[in-house]
């Protein structure tokens, strides 16, 4: 372990790879280990790096490293803190996968120590960075979060008022951001004016907190209170929280992919149960695209289990545990290198021959991005004797990049970009392929088209994407 910055320790570990997750706690007991536990609860949101910042009473102490929370924190002695802190797990969407970009980021600007964690992506980060560089400011990383840190530091030096400084900073940002921040002894969270990435506040057994997903409060013996509003800053205190709006004219645009794939099914995101949404996606898919005479419905585990359950329930076709997942091999969609993806997949899934052989199978997946996983699974099922494999996908074709915090950057990645349904299926090798309709997806979320981001489906983003 060596020292990275003042009050900051670097922990080495193994690197793996998704999006990002944040937590913030203010409790009547030290929170260091509780932050680590909270990050483990939302580990599915990011596997590249993990970190926490706590306040020891003298300094902000930052612990972070590359890898899963367990890998980074196993056996690490965390100093006693004053009961406030923030935590972050990361998968890089802006900035490369290096320890310097691991969060929370830390800065000491004399009167203030600041730590920041970020889930999302600042679309105008480069523009802001160039403008700051032209005024003589320099940057240590290529992360968009450092741009937020720099802007906030400049504002704090001018105003010495954390809330005013945050308001002034956030007004300059364009993009998706759910942030957690520690400024000396105070802990804040904030959400962009479109509420693109999720963020909730709640109680814990020993105080108050905020997290990317409500499941954190279930498991810390507390209760989710509400979503952080788009354009809102919330100060988390040990026995209450305070709200400061910095943008009242916001237009909600929650990421549809949180419901389809990212969030845990036991979370409630923006007032809507992820489990219930996925069940509904499955039910609608079954109504829109039935498979006559099918013997069984099989889910691509684990992410499509609930969608498949909904499909089976609506169609009356039995749900079968036809594919077994090796639970010690991590999710493949977000592995940074193509080579890694292929080899992980080979050992990740295996069909149960007795359940598949001679059967007409409805294979339900939550979404298709590159199609590598799907193609291999179809091939696998056929090899194990499936008579027919009919693919049913609970998300419309992903054809456009995400610039707002999900690692889907180039169009070339998408099997559905510039291909017809027939051409896509020719690559996947199924007997038939159907996607849920855009209307079906919107109906399943119950949020209304006007309250969702659907950019990667229809190329209409809630913010101006600029030069991309």
Nearer to ligand SF4, 261 or 311 (CB): 261
Residue 453: CB minimum distance to ligand SF4, A: 3
- Which of 163/174 has CB closer to ligand SF4? 174
CA 243 to chain centroid? 24
C-beta atoms surrounding 2 within 10 Å: 7
**Cβ(111)–Cβ(168) below 8 Å:** no
Beta bridge partners, 83, equal none
Specify the pairing of strand 272-273 against strand 268-269.
antiparallel
Pick between residue 76 and residue 465 the one whose CB is nearest to ligand SF4.
Answer: 465
Complete edge-to-edge strand list for the sheet that includes strand 200-204: 2-5, 8-11, 60-66, 49-55, 84-90, 21-27, 207-211, 200-204, 223-227
**Count of residues making up the chain:** 468
CB of 203 to ligand SF4, least distance (A): 29
Residue nearer to ligand SF4 on the CB measure, 95 or 209: 95
- Determine if the peptide bond prior to 104 is cis (ω within 30°): yes
Instruction: Give the pairing type, strands 2-5 and 8-11.
Output: antiparallel
**What's the min distance (Å) between Cβ of 358 and ligand SF4?**
39
- Residue 167 φ then ψ, to 5°: -55, -45
Closest CB 397 distance from ligand SF4, rounded Å: 12
Q: How far is the CB of 189 from ligand SF4 (least distance, A)?
A: 19
Give the H/E segment covering residue 298: strand 296-299
If the CB atoms of residues 156 and 402 are measured against ligand SF4, the closer one turns out to be: 402
In angstroms, give the least distance from the CB of 402 to ligand SF4.
3
- DSSP code string of 178-247: EEEEEETTEEEEEE-TT--S--EEEEETTEEEEESSTHHHHHTT-EEEEEPPTTEEEEE-SS-EEEEES-
Burial label, 203 (beta-carbon count in 10 A; 0-12, 13-18, 19+): middle
Report which DSSP code applies to 288: H
Whichever of 95 and 222 has its CB closer to ligand SF4, that residue is: 95
Active site residues: 20
Helices (H), 290-337: 305-315
Instruction: Determine the Cα–Cα distance for residues 66 and 50; give it in Å rounded to an integer.
Output: 6
Radius of gyration of the chain, Cα coordinates, nearest whole angstrom: 22
Question: Toward ligand SF4, which CB reaches closer, 202 or 397?
Answer: 397
The residues binding ligand SF4 (CB under 6 A) are 196, 255-257, 402, 404, 406, 453-456
| Minimal distance, residue 152 CB to ligand SF4, in Å | 24
């Amino acid at each position: 372990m060596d020292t990275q910055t003042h009050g900051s320790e670097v922990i080495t570990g193994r690197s793996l790879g998704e999006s990002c997750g944040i937590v913030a706690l203010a409790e009547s007991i030290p929170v260091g280990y509780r932050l680590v536990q909270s990050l483990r609860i939302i580990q599915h949101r990011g596997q590249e790096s993990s970190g926490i910042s706590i306040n020891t009473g003298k300094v902000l102490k930052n612990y972070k490293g590359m890898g899963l929370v367990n890998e980074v924190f196993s056996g690490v002695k965390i100093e006693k803190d004053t009961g406030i802190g923030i935590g972050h797990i990361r998968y890089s969407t802006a900035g490369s996968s290096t320890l310097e970009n691991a969060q929370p980021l830390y800065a000491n600007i004399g009167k203030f120590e600041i730590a920041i964690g970020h889930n999302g992506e600042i679309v105008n980060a480069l523009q802001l960075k160039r403008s700051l560089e032209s005024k003589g400011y320099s940057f240590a990383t290529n992360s968009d979060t450092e741009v937020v840190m720099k802007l906030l530091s400049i504002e704090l030096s001018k105003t010495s008022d954390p809330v005013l400084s945050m308001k002034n900073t956030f007004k300059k940002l364009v993009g998706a951001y759910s942030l957690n921040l520690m400024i000396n002894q105070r802990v804040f969270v904030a959400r962009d004016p479109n509420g693109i990435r999720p963020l909730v506040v709640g109680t814990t057994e020993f105080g108050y907190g905020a997290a990317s997903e409500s499941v954190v409060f279930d498991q810390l013996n507390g209760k989710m209170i509400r979503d952080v509003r788009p354009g809102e800053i919330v100060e988390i205190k040990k026995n209450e929280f305070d709200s400061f709006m910095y943008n009242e004219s916001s237009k909600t645009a929650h990421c549809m992919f949180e419901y389809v794939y990212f969030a845990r099914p036991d979370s409630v995101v923006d007032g809507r149960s992820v489990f219930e949404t996925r069940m509904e996606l499955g039910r609608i898919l079954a109504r829109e695209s039935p498979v006559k005479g099918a013997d069984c419905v099989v889910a691509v585990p684990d992410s499509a289990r609930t969608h498949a359950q909904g499909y089976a329930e609506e169609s009356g076709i039995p749900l079968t545990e036809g594919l077994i997942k090796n639970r010690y091999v991590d999710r493949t969609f977000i592995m940074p290198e193509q080579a890694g993806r292929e080899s992980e997949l080979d050992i990740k899934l295996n069909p149960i021959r007795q359940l598949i052989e001679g059967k007409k199978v409805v294979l339900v997946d939550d979404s298709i991005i590159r199609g590598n996983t799907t193609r291999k699974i179809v091939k696998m099922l056929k090899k194990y004797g499936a008579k027919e494999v009919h693919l049913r996908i609970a998300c419309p074709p992903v054809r456009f990049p995400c610039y707002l915090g999900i690692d889907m950057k180039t169009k070339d990645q998408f099997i559905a970009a510039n291909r017809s349904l027939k051409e896509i299926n020719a690559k996947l090798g199924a007997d038939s392929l159907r996607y849920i309709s855009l209307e079906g997806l919107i109906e399943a979320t119950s949020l209304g088209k006007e309250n969702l981001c659907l950019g990667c489906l229809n190329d209409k983003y809630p913010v101006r994407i600029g030069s991309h």
